[in-house]
Copies of this chain bind each other. A is one copy, B any other.
């Protein structure tokens, strides 16, 4: 499996130290019960790649599900023995003594359907044809993901999650768990998320998709058959995404108008930010699958639980019975604090149990992956409360 990261910032901050869960092994669960999808199609069978850290207690009450965002995976914490540099994307959050303490909790990281990192997706073999699904893999929604995650919970013998937690698109999955599986979740941690995408969010996704789909090497999604890969499109898509992960001020602090050498009056990279973005694009184009990228951005676009209640988010959240922790970051302009507050207001209006924190951080949307002391203290305190409740119940 390739090394990957939601953002570069993550890679810089992840550390393999004393408090790491250590070497981990990905596992695969195979399901033969058909999974009906929102698009109307059905996956007759599928696999989910996952990892677990810590020990499930006898009462099966200390399980926490981590949901990943756009291009991360089930590799949340620890590292692979054969590739020690490949550290989980939320390793600063999950481990012994970390905010989500694996000495107390049994943590499950799962790769979503449609991904290219192990769970069934466009790169997998379509049993009906014997060839890779490719462009014929169905479009998947957040709800489909959560339904599949519920199957995994059953398989692991987890009737109720102590918490479901995620940032960005992962936060949307936590929200959906709370709404559609209320009896199976005691806490939802919804971080750097939004109740749906704004027109601007959709616009960024659509441009990324257009870059991929108009790449002549895309071949309507059947690029594998042509021994091709739409690298140009993936590069541009990644560069576009990357801008939305960082705050303007963070970009200025990190790159500003710094030149690599001097002005050369050509279209070779001159500013540091140019070579940084090109490098990010190149890396991504090598390890990511174009059909997966298209599908995950669509899942983001589609998510909008309020539509089921004529746009009334409070009504959409009414089935939820868990406690909510909602966290936003001051310079996140992909999902600004105001979007998180929409969730909070809807929960308050519905008299649900919700805590909200806006963290002052310069890092933009990326901040949810970084080791911000205030942010981590809030999450730590939340899990300490959950742990003490588990202790009291036993």
Copies in the complex: 2
User: Is B203 a contact of A243 with CB atoms below 8 Å?
Assistant: yes
User: Is A216 a contact of B216 with CB atoms below 8 Å?
Assistant: yes
Chain B residues whose C-beta falls within 8 Å of the C-beta of A215 in the assembled complex: 232
Bound-complex Cα distance A81 to B87 (A): 66
Chain B residues whose C-beta falls within 8 Å of the C-beta of A248 in the assembled complex: 198-200
User: Is A266 a contact of B139 with CB atoms below 8 Å?
Assistant: yes
When the two chains form the complex, which single residue of B207, B235, B263 contacts A239, counting CB atoms closer than 8 Å?
B207
Which size class do A's interface residues fall under? 35 or more
Bound-complex Cα distance A235 to B38 (A): 31
Does A294 lie at the interface of the complex (its beta carbon under 8 Å from any beta carbon of B)? yes
When the two chains form the complex, which single residue of B40, B240, B251, B270 contacts A265, counting CB atoms closer than 8 Å?
B40
User: Is A301 a contact of B271 with CB atoms below 8 Å?
Assistant: yes
Does A55 lie at the interface of the complex (its beta carbon under 8 Å from any beta carbon of B)? no
Rounded to whole Å, the gap between the CB of A270 and the closest CB of chain B is 8
User: Is A198 a contact of B252 with CB atoms below 8 Å?
Assistant: yes
When the two chains form the complex, which single residue of B139, B235, B271 contacts A202, counting CB atoms closer than 8 Å?
B271
User: Is B257 a contact of A206 with CB atoms below 8 Å?
Assistant: no
Nearest CB in chain B to that of A306: its residue: B257
Could you name 27 residue pairs across A and B whose Cβ atoms are closer than 8 Å?
A: A39-B265, A40-B265, A139-B265, A139-B266, A196-B257, A198-B248, A198-B251, A198-B252, A198-B256, A199-B271, A200-B243, A200-B251, A202-B257, A203-B242, A203-B243, A203-B274, A206-B239, A206-B269, A206-B277, A206-B278, A207-B239, A210-B239, A211-B211, A211-B236, A214-B235, A267-B298, A270-B301
Identify the A interface with B (CB < 8 A). Answer: 38-40, 138-139, 196-200, 202-204, 206-207, 209-211, 213-216, 232, 235-236, 239-240, 242-243, 246, 248, 251-252, 254-257, 263, 265-267, 269-271, 273-274, 277-278, 281, 294, 298, 301-302, 304, 333
